[in-house]
Amino acid sequence: MVELGQCWAFATIASIESIHHIAHNSILENKFNTQYLIDCYDAYESKDAVYGHVRRALRYILNHNQGYLYSEHDYPPRFKDRRGVCASAGLNPCTRIHGLGRVRANESQLLEVVKKRPVAASTASPGIALYPLDARTIIRWADVGSDGEPDHFVLIIGYGTEGGVDYWLCQNFWGPSYREDGYFRVEKNVCDPRGTAGVARKCFFPVIEGYGASDSK
């Protein structure tokens, strides 16, 4: 389970790892370093990481680190008295992103993007926490709606249908005991274009040169 307020960093890194794997058809030997993003973005923004946002994090990587990322193996561990201190100087990057795409309040467009890659999505956490946290059922729009202030980020990794109900399959970062082994499903193709619990309201994804650049907006 991630620390409070760091879901944006985990969603950002998970989206980059996913597109790296898809674009290069390779398994990562070392995961990309979430701590680097928390430290360096936090130092750049001069505020606590609880204010982080996937779009701003991707732009930080693109604009202030030329799109490069580091692995967990290479980036030094964080010490408690070094919070917000960026220690990336002199490290060798292990991947690079080249752009940023987004989809706003349009489940049809979102589907076309998710067919090609996972997407980081903002959501209202009360909506996905309303059900019992160990429930293995689809979160229905009729129960949670689309309202609520977006205060959490998840990763939309797929879609499907069960019992006649279309759904988005999402990865959360609240640990494996949450709902379906750390994943959850929300109803798809609902009356509100923002989606169930607002998961389709604002979605972001990194672009790697040569793969999916036409999806970026």
Per the prediction, the chain carries an average pLDDT of 85
**CATH classification of the domain holding 168:** 3.90.70.10
Is the pLDDT assigned to residue 171 strictly greater than 80? yes
Choose between 129 and 86: higher pLDDT. Answer: 129
Residue 114 falls within a domain, yes or no?
Answer: yes
Is the pLDDT assigned to residue 190 strictly greater than 80? yes
The closest alpha carbon to 43, from 96, 71, 82, belongs to 82
Tell me: do 53 and 108 sit in the same domain. Answer: no
Tell me: do 111 and 162 sit in the same domain. Answer: yes
Question: CA angle 4-94-73, nearest 5°?
Answer: 60
Residue 60 falls within a domain, yes or no?
Answer: yes
Tell me: do 107 and 46 sit in the same domain. Answer: no
Residue 9 to residue 7: CA distance in whole angstroms: 5
Active site amino acids: 7, 152, 172
Is the pLDDT assigned to residue 8 strictly greater than 80? yes
Tell me: do 120 and 95 sit in the same domain. Answer: no
pLDDT tens, position by position, 50-75: 446 899 999 999 998 889 888 888 77
